[in-house]
Amino acid sequence: MVIYEELKKDHREVLALCDRLIQSADASSEQRNGLIAQIRDALIPHSRAEEALFYNAIRQEAADKAEIAHAYTEHMMAETLLRSLQVQGVVDVAWRTTATKLRDALAHHIQEEETEMFAEAQKVLSTQEAEQIGAAFVQLKPHIEEQGFMGTSMDLIANLLPTRFAATFRKLGVQNGQPQ
């Protein structure tokens, strides 16, 4: 499947999970925390694999580099909201406000990705390349799921760096005792 279809599938899934969380007023704390964990497991591997494979593939040739930088910023913002949600859990009444903010932020990000970014990518990637990136995306995601938040934060930074610096940064992370 081409990368665009893989990304869209994940996008629908994470938005549906956010909707379920927002509507979970009658759920127990365990059920709600379970949903927050499901959002995390859907969002984090998606974002890291998307950065490593999709953003990196188009960023060298894309005419609008600011758009990719903007998308990275939105990943960071979404993860900050997710962390607040995990901390608030269910004891704090603010969880619903945060969940709604996260849902809206993701809906905005996804809309831009599926319109502007996909259009940009289709200019620089052949269908065969889009299929290869799609296959690599499916292979990479389960590896990211095994990592904690710290590991994926290190990867977020590494994915922002030019390829030749990213390798050195990843090695530094390992030396400091961070998972890769």
Q: CA 101: distance to chain centroid? A: 16
> CA nearest 150: which of 123, 118, 176?
176
Q: How far is the CB of 81 from Fe ion (least distance, A)?
A: 14
Q: How far is the CB of 93 from Fe ion (least distance, A)?
A: 29
Of the pair 32, 46, the CB lying nearest Fe ion is at 46
Of the pair 51, 98, the CB lying nearest Fe ion is at 51
Of the pair 73, 168, the CB lying nearest Fe ion is at 73
Of the pair 50, 79, the CB lying nearest Fe ion is at 50
Q: How far is the CB of 174 from Fe ion (least distance, A)?
A: 26
**CB contact at 8 A, 74 and 43:** no
Q: How far is the CB of 179 from Fe ion (least distance, A)?
A: 22
Residues that bind Fe ion (CB under 5 A): 7, 50, 113
